[in-house]
Amino acid sequence: MGRDTNPRKSLGSLHGRIKEARVLMVGAGGIGCELLKNLVLTGFGEIHIVDLDTIDLSNLNRQFLFGMQHIKKSKAMVAKETAGKFNPNVKLEAHHANIKDHNFNVKWFKTFDVVFNALDNLDARRHVNKMCLAADVPLIESGTTGFNGQVQVIKQRTTECYDCTHKPIPKSFPVCTIRSTPSQPIHCIVWAKSYLFVEIFGTSEESSPEVDPSENDENAGEIANLKREAEELKNIREKMASPDFAATIFGKVFAADIDRLRSMEDMWKSRKLPKALDYAQISEEAEKIDNSVAKNDQKVWTLAENYVVFADSLQRLAKRMLELKASVKDGEAAPILAFDKDDEDTLDFVAASANLRSLIFGIDSKSKFDIKQMAGNIIPAIATTNAITAGLCVLQAFKVLREDYKTARMVFLSRSADRAFSSEKLSPPNPNCEVCSVTRITIEADVSRATIGDLVDKVLREQLGYGEELSLLTKELLYDADYDDNKDTPLSEIGFGEETFVTIVDDDEEEPRINLVIVVTNTALPADGEPITVPEKFEIPRKLKAIPAGNGGGTNGLANGLKRSHEDLILAAGGEGANGNGNEPEQKKRKVDVIVENRDVNVKRAKVFEEKKDDDIIVLDDDGFITID
Amino acid sequence: MAASTPSGAPSSKEKKYDRQLRLWGANGQNKLESAHIALFNASAAGCEILKNLILPGVGQFTVIDDKLVEEADLGANFFLDEESLGKPRAERTAALLGELNPDVKGNYLVDSLSNTLSAKPELLNPRSTPFTHIVIISPVPTPLLLQIPIEIPVFLVNCVGLLFTLRISAPLHTIVEAHPESLVDLRLLNPWPELSALAAEKTKNLEVQQEMDGDEGMSDHEHGHVPYLVLLLKYLDDWKRRPEGDGTHPSSYKEMTAFRSFVQDKMRTHVPGGSEENYEEAVAAVLKHVRKAEVSEYAKTVLDHPACANVTSESTNFWIIAKAVKQFLESPEQGNGLLPLSGGIPDMKAESSGYVALQNVYKNKARHDAALVQKNVQSILSSIGREPSSISLEEIEIFCRHANFLRAISFRPFSAELSTDEFHKKVVKDAFESWDADSALINDYVAFRAFQEFITQNNGRAPGDTEGPLDEDTVEMQRLAKAYLSEVGCSLELAERTENIIGELVRYGGAELHNTASLAGGLVAQEIIKIITQQYVPGNNTILFDGISSKTGTYVL
Ligand SMILES: [Zn+2]
């Protein structure tokens, strides 16, 4: 009996494929630890782990590959070390790095059979989704929140991608709500974390995604005032070493600034007038209170207790800042402190400051425990949900290795045991998805010599047949018919690195092509030749005319779209602008089919969504029994 | 002010458990830390279950197993290493599991379930057992299973290949904090005087457009910030008094939609954007919140339970408070047919002062109701000879807040299921008559039932775990499955799904696959945590999992 007796017996021929498989796991956190253990013990041949994070005490209630002795060490490295001991036949490789680093390029992604996303943030998820689509590698995406979890299989041109459905963006608040007219605890917490803390200990130019600074006629005057206030605060920052630093800050933000606000009579016509805090009175009362009150994180602190925590944490932070400053050498950037929910000094400061502000505006104060959750966007997490989710990821990987996307599933976990989880069939790609419903090509360019002009003229117009009206975008607009300032600038000077994704939007009014994504790889090309390689000529499919919204805006899937010829597509779009062949009955019928087919898809999805909302129906699927040979 | 401490850090334990305290709070954590789990059979699934209880900080665990570590164990069980080969599994797994969390005490016993039952009966006697919960990984013959006293919660797990099942047997289980989606109960159709008064005051000049500062009426800003709750109360009142109305609240769907338009029409539309957010919130809340306050079926089950009527000095706090709540509900001077108010209100568009005033009216009423329940609790406590203050107001308040979501679950014992009693027969027959019977996991249950019978008849050997031909075991499993179906009174033909599952079970020969064991470890530990913390609603009483189609099914068997 060998160590792989059980897997061999249960998995049959799939076992061989698993042993050959080379997989990538992005993220070695809660799901990652479970997943890595499962992959290692299931016998996956080669596993690469990428994680930028280091280990924190609050990870240890679930991330079992780590112990107390590993705190502050690299998650990827420690995970590899711990898990590796359990199966000498598996090859493990760890990268303590950001998955967005340029060396993790499309070519590198292509070397894997399956990629697992075990991430905790939208940005990295989207990035890996994009890379897997470009590399045409199947991705198993997963996530958990408390008792809820989700596993999704993503395969280019076969299933929905991560971005095919709308993902909610984090909430942001207007700057005046945060700085002048708060009405909820969260407004005061964002103020303490993204304004006050940053002005005193960070770089104030930092803009926070939680605050929307847009200026309009109504708030222009107030925004000017706020800028001046921030300037004054910055000056106080210079007095960090002074013994009355806390008193000065307090006097400014909890008294002087409030008095200034009170004087804006229009603002308070229908709002409750804020009331400045009385430093002398509060600090006297605070004499009797011990600093240890900060440890009581379940209690809602009194005014004086908040002051004690405010003054004490400010002193702790100032001390750290002064020490950092003393160790900085000439020419190095000035040190800063950043808010971290698990850094007690920063959390105490934000909790106390937020509560003091709430008291000024007559808003409910919160306990430090609650503020930690609100300020840190904390997501509850436990081992059990991660274990279930990781187990489901591996089951889906079995299907992916067999290229069986028909029985692969999207699985949802809920905390209710009556329906511990429900699964549904994978949906086809959303034809309007800007991430996956595109054509992709890769070209090589010497970015120090090649220009936007080379790209537009030599590649897009001459080779691919684009007309005058087109735009090039990366994160920003690089070029369009009315904006050609960059045309002669080398690509390297407008942000092109080792590998850059450029989206080409065809602005032709009649028959625009679907979006084209060019992956530009930096290559040293012979100095006497062209600075850019030109792809073979090929026809990029045209966009389908949108079916009116309400049907979900669906047209046919890209998978079909790419296979169809140009004429068919126009027809399928609903006959508008159809050319001479448009009356041919056979093709007309096809047009109808396409639309109906997609309506069905959308109707079915809408229903599934409704049912989930009501939370009482399991989506049942009728798949037959599959035996694994 | 006292001298500065280097850091106001909470204990490292709180920090370590921060992410889970947000799910079950300090109360749940205390219960978890008081639990002692026994695991019989240190298989991969068993160890994964323990792992998921040790990480969040269960009090103690004891591994009971009489086998020695073999090479095949290493391939499936993460908590065994090369050094463990040839040593007792109980000892090695307890040691490696123990490393997961220094706050948890680990013990082991090199022994089997059958020997423990016969040679160390005190370990499984409800009066002397150190264990609060028992996890058993099959194969365990039925007679042994039936010897475990029903007073101890037992979690029986079958984990074979890509399949697993969990069966929970436990004494009457009560839950206060079921964690429903929302505790909000607005009582819009049953307002109390203070709430009506506040609504009347806040809507005094609702229809009057203020032209100038200081004039009568409401400015657009004020009008757009009247909380939607107040708007609904006002318009419900107006609706009742319509000359064309019959003096009642809207109740039918048709009336509700008419009422919705009634509210919509009162919105000021000359304002920027052409609509008012608070009115939109009011319109959206009509179908959800305009309804009579009612006692849920779950709460009725609890309040009508014999344990509630027959409170004695042995009763738990749950039943004492439940009785006090029932008295509140029935007393014309107290609830008068309504449960204590939960007291929370949702977020809504409002000025903070207006919102706080409204919040206080709800909070005060909830506090008042809880105080009445507390009085009832005190007199019940006196009547059973307990100190009247021995149940804290805080505990009573939590109970009152959750009153409409209380649960009492009676888990059926193994004996009732395995003797195929009438209740069991009906459940299985009904499941076979459901529209999705072909793909339902009741077919898997039939195969697992045959599996249990096979194990019992073969002295603990799993089907397929043999050097001989597998066909014999398959034929025997099919015979047992048919015998079971005839006992239930169902068709003797085995469903295709059942035959397939039998095939899989025999092919795996009782072997665990790490990935399935890990998944089972997550799911089973999650149910154990629900039972230990008495929070959230656990599965009752059998959960089946099929890893081929990633499906689960739950049955009360
Ligand atoms: Zn997409």
Task: Kindly report, residue by residue over B234-286, the tens digit of the pLDDT.
Answer: 999 999 999 888 888 998 889 999 999 999 999 999 888 788 999 999 999 99
Say whether both A400 and A452 belong to one domain: no
Residue A415's pLDDT is: 66
In a domain, A533, yes or no: no
We report the CATH number of the domain holding residue B38 as 3.40.50.720
Residue A567's pLDDT is: 25
Residue B9's pLDDT is: 41
In a domain, B183, yes or no: no
Inter-chain contact A625–B537, Cβ cutoff 8 Å? Answer: no
Say whether both B368 and B428 belong to one domain: no
Say whether both A77 and A131 belong to one domain: yes
Say whether both B418 and B405 belong to one domain: no
Cα→Cα distances B449→A519, B142, B455, B461, B544, Å: 57, 11, 10, 15, 12
Cα(A165) to ligand 1 centroid in Å equals 7
End-of-domain residue from the set B289, B319, B336: B289
- Catalytic position from the list A176, A188, A433, A436: A176
**pLDDT level of residue A329 (50, 70, 90 thresholds):** confident
Say whether both B429 and B403 belong to one domain: no
Q: Give per-residue pLDDT as tens, B141-150.
A: 999 999 999 9
Say whether both A200 and A302 belong to one domain: yes
Distance CA A25, CA A76 (A): 10
End-of-domain residue from the set B409, B437, B458: B409
- Min CA distance, A302 vs chain B (Å)? 15
> Quick check: is A176 catalytic?
yes
Count CB neighbours of A459 within 10 A: 23
Average pLDDT over residues A306-316: 94
- Min CA distance, B386 vs chain A (Å)? 30
Instruction: Give me the domain span that covers residue A595.
Output: 553-627
Residue B167's pLDDT is: 98
Extract the runs of DSSP E, i.e. beta strands, from A55-147: 91-95, 114-117, 139-145
DSSP A414-468: -S-GGGSEEEEEPPPPPTT-TTTSSEEEEEEE-TTT-BHHIIIIIIIIIIT---S
pLDDT per residue as tens, chain B (557 positions): 333 333 334 467 777 888 888 889 888 999 999 999 999 999 999 999 999 999 999 999 999 999 999 998 998 999 999 999 999 999 999 999 999 999 999 999 999 999 999 999 999 999 999 999 999 999 999 999 999 999 999 999 999 999 999 999 999 999 999 998 889 999 999 999 999 999 999 999 888 888 877 778 888 888 999 999 999 999 999 999 998 888 889 988 899 999 999 999 999 998 887 889 999 999 999 988 998 889 999 999 999 999 999 999 999 999 999 999 999 999 999 999 999 999 989 888 887 778 888 989 999 999 999 999 999 999 999 999 999 999 999 999 999 999 999 999 999 999 999 999 999 999 999 999 988 888 899 999 999 999 999 999 999 999 999 888 889 999 999 999 999 999 999 887 899 999 999 999 999 999 999 999 999 999 999 999 999 999 999 999 999 999 988 889 999 99
Inter-chain contact A10–B23, Cβ cutoff 8 Å? Answer: no
Distance CA B76, CA A395 (A): 16
In a domain, A541, yes or no: no
- Min CA distance, B130 vs chain A (Å)? 25
Say whether both A139 and A57 belong to one domain: yes
Say whether both B154 and B223 belong to one domain: no
Inter-residue contact B175 to B534 (CB < 8 Å): yes
Say whether both A571 and A487 belong to one domain: no
Long-range contacts of A271-277 (CB under 8 A, 24+ apart): A271/A181, A271/A183, A271/B351, A271/B352, A272/A361, A272/A362, A272/B351, A272/B352, A272/B353, A274/A360, A274/A361, A274/A362, A275/A360, A275/A362, A276/A360, A277/A250, A277/A303, A277/A356, A277/A359, A277/A360
Inter-chain contact B537–A416, Cβ cutoff 8 Å? Answer: yes
Cα(B44) to ligand 1 centroid in Å equals 39
A64, A361, A417 ranked by CB distance to B352: nearest: A361
Residue A169's pLDDT is: 64
Q: Give me the number of domains chain B comprises.
A: 4
Say whether both A141 and A69 belong to one domain: yes
A37, A409, A621 ranked by CB distance to B518: nearest: A37
In a domain, A443, yes or no: yes
In a domain, A128, yes or no: yes
Residues of B in contact with A58 (CB under 8 A): 15-16, 18-19
pTM of the full predicted structure? 0.81
Say whether both A450 and A466 belong to one domain: yes
Say whether both B437 and B458 belong to one domain: yes
Compute, in degrees rounded to 10, the torsion defined by CA atoms A14, A17, A18, A23: -140
Say whether both B51 and B162 belong to one domain: yes
Say whether both A51 and A190 belong to one domain: no
Sign of CA dihedral B51, B55, B58, B61: positive
Say whether both B377 and B484 belong to one domain: no
Say whether both B201 and B164 belong to one domain: no
Inter-chain contact B522–A373, Cβ cutoff 8 Å? Answer: no
Inter-chain contact A415–B161, Cβ cutoff 8 Å? Answer: no
In a domain, A542, yes or no: no
What is the 3-class SS of B142-177, one letter each residue?
A: HHHHHCCCCCCCEEEEEEEECEEEEEEECCCEEECE
Cα(A428) to ligand 1 centroid in Å equals 9
In a domain, B182, yes or no: no
Q: Give me the number of domains chain A comprises.
A: 4
- Select from A59, A270, A319, A386 the residue whose CB has the most chain B CBs within 10 Å, as the one to mutate to test that interface: A270
DSSP B235-299: HHHHHHH-TTS-SS---SHHHHHHHHHHHHTTS--SSGGGS-HHHHHHHHHHHHH-S-----HHH
In a domain, B356, yes or no: yes
Say whether both A419 and A487 belong to one domain: no
In a domain, B503, yes or no: yes
B19, B518, B536 ranked by CB distance to A38: nearest: B518
Distance CA A578, CA A568 (A): 9
Distance CA B424, CA A339 (A): 58
Q: Give per-residue pLDDT as tens, B50-92.
A: 999 999 999 999 999 999 999 989 989 999 999 999 999 999 9
Say whether both A355 and A370 belong to one domain: yes
What is the Cα A533 distance to its own chain's centre?
33
We report the CATH number of the domain holding residue A19 as 3.40.50.720
| Cα distance from N-terminal residue to C-terminal residue, chain B | 64
Residues of B in contact with A64 (CB under 8 A): 51, 55, 100
- Select from B67, B467, B515, B523 the residue whose CB has the most chain A CBs within 10 Å, as the one to mutate to test that interface: B515
Give which of A568, A566, A567, A544 is closest to A557, Cα–Cα: A544
Q: Give per-residue pLDDT as tens, A192-223.
A: 998 899 888 887 554 566 776 666 666 677 77
Average pLDDT over residues A116-136: 93
Q: A174: exposed, middle or buried (C-beta count within 10 Å: 0-12, 13-18, 19+)?
A: middle
Say whether both B101 and B214 belong to one domain: no
Q: Is the pLDDT of residue A606 over 60?
A: no
Cα(B548) to ligand 1 centroid in Å equals 27
Q: Among A219-228, A398-407, A593-602, which is the least confidently predicted range?
A: A593-602
Cα→Cα distances B296→B292, B338, B339, B406, B407, Å: 12, 11, 10, 9, 10
In a domain, A125, yes or no: yes
Inter-chain contact A312–B8, Cβ cutoff 8 Å? Answer: yes
Residue with tokens 């090309």: A525
In a domain, B184, yes or no: no
In a domain, B243, yes or no: yes
Q: Give per-residue pLDDT as tens, B359-407.
A: 899 999 999 999 999 999 999 999 999 999 999 999 999 999 999 999 9
In a domain, B2, yes or no: no
Cα(A93) to ligand 1 centroid in Å equals 30
Count CB neighbours of A280 within 10 A: 8
- Min CA distance, A565 vs chain B (Å)? 37
In a domain, A202, yes or no: yes
Q: A492: exposed, middle or buried (C-beta count within 10 Å: 0-12, 13-18, 19+)?
A: middle
- Select from A319, A384, A422, A613 the residue whose CB has the most chain B CBs within 10 Å, as the one to mutate to test that interface: A384
Average pLDDT over residues A414-433: 79
Inter-chain contact A312–B52, Cβ cutoff 8 Å? Answer: no
Q: Give per-residue pLDDT as tens, A539-552.
A: 888 876 544 333 33
Cα(A164) to ligand 1 centroid in Å equals 4
Distance CA A510, CA B172 (A): 71
Say whether both B212 and B92 belong to one domain: no
A290, A379, A419 ranked by CB distance to B2: nearest: A290
Q: Give per-residue pLDDT as tens, A442-467.
A: 899 999 999 999 999 989 998 898 98
- Min CA distance, B306 vs chain A (Å)? 26
Distance CA B53, CA A245 (A): 48
Residue B291's pLDDT is: 86
In a domain, A535, yes or no: no
Inter-chain contact A64–B55, Cβ cutoff 8 Å? Answer: yes
Sign of CA dihedral A286, A287, A288, A293: positive
Instruction: Give me the domain span that covers residue B405.
Output: 297-409
Residue A573's pLDDT is: 25
Average pLDDT over residues A550-569: 29
Average pLDDT over residues A363-392: 88
Residue B279's pLDDT is: 95
Inter-chain contact A2–B72, Cβ cutoff 8 Å? Answer: yes
Residue A557's pLDDT is: 32
Residue A547's pLDDT is: 40
The phi and psi torsions of A339 (rounded to 5 degrees) equal: -70, 135
Residue with tokens 């630890």: A33
Residue with tokens 């609790």: B377
We report the CATH number of the domain holding residue A251 as 1.10.10.520
The first and second tokens of residue B457, run together, are 């008849």
Q: Is the pLDDT of residue A234 over 60?
A: yes
In a domain, B168, yes or no: yes
Residue of chain A nearest B179, judged by CA positions: A415
We report the CATH number of the domain holding residue A450 as 3.10.290.20
Residue of chain B nearest A343, judged by CA positions: B9
Give which of B290, B282, B287, B186 is closest to B225, Cα–Cα: B282
Say whether both A295 and A418 belong to one domain: no
End-of-domain residue from the set B409, B424, B455: B409
Say whether both B307 and B244 belong to one domain: no
Say whether both B504 and B518 belong to one domain: no
Q: Is the pLDDT of residue A625 over 70?
A: no
Cα(A27) to ligand 1 centroid in Å equals 22
Q: Is the pLDDT of residue A434 over 60?
A: yes
- Min CA distance, A220 vs chain B (Å)? 19
Say whether both A164 and A194 belong to one domain: no
Distance CA A433, CA A126 (A): 13
Cα(A160) to ligand 1 centroid in Å equals 5
Distance CA B507, CA A449 (A): 64
A34, A57, A68 ranked by CB distance to B518: nearest: A34
- Mean pLDDT (chain A) is 79
A9, A313, A380 ranked by CB distance to B19: nearest: A380
